[in-house]
Amino acid sequence: MEEKKEMRDRNYLMVGKQSFDSSHEVANLIHYVTRTGNCKKNVEDCICYGGHGVSISDSIELAIEQFKGIYGAYKAPRKGCRRQAYHEQMEIPYEYARRMSPEDMDELAYWLSYHFWNRRYPVIYAVHGPGKSGRHFHIHFVVSMVSCRTGKKFDTSGKENRLRMQLFNRLMEAFAEARGLR
């Protein structure tokens, strides 16, 4: 019982301070998380990838062009609003990951990434396994900074990040409960 409480109190979402200010940096990030293009190193640790609001099935290059096009339509209200993509990752606790199939991991990532797309922020996700590094299973999210619906920038404030962290923690626990992983 104590272990379940500890897992509920744990934060799975890891938000780093990163800036991707050019389309070249965004392309590199997308290639890195999907292990495509020049970033094929450690390709075996990429379990799956997908997205919302971009065409992943045609090619990663097309998805990158779609990210560029969305940002290209943005009219910054002031100078200095150059950030084009937001990157964060979420740990899949080993206690759950060891009992999940690749399809389960893809479904979880798809389900979580819908949070961004529901507000019309295109998103690409990728699930990485521990690979040679021995690190944990985790999901990367690359989110366009511009909403297709409103044309407004994605809010990366501390308050918004904390709310998303709480939401993703609840969703992770609900997914684990529904799959009998706990």
- CA atoms in the 13 A half-sphere facing the CB of 82: 11
Q: How far apart are CA 107 and CA 156, in angstroms?
A: 25
Rounded to 10 degrees, what is the CA torsion of 88, 182, 100, 47? 10
Task: Please say whether the beta carbons of 137 and 129 come within 8 A.
Answer: yes
Tell me the pLDDT tens digit for each residue of 4-62.
Answer: 444 445 667 676 657 676 778 889 899 999 999 876 677 778 999 999 999 888 889 99
Tell me the pLDDT tens digit for each residue of 88-143.
Answer: 999 998 889 989 999 999 999 999 999 999 989 999 999 999 866 566 899 999 99
Task: Please say whether the beta carbons of 67 and 85 come within 8 A.
Answer: yes
Terminal alpha carbon distance of the chain: 11
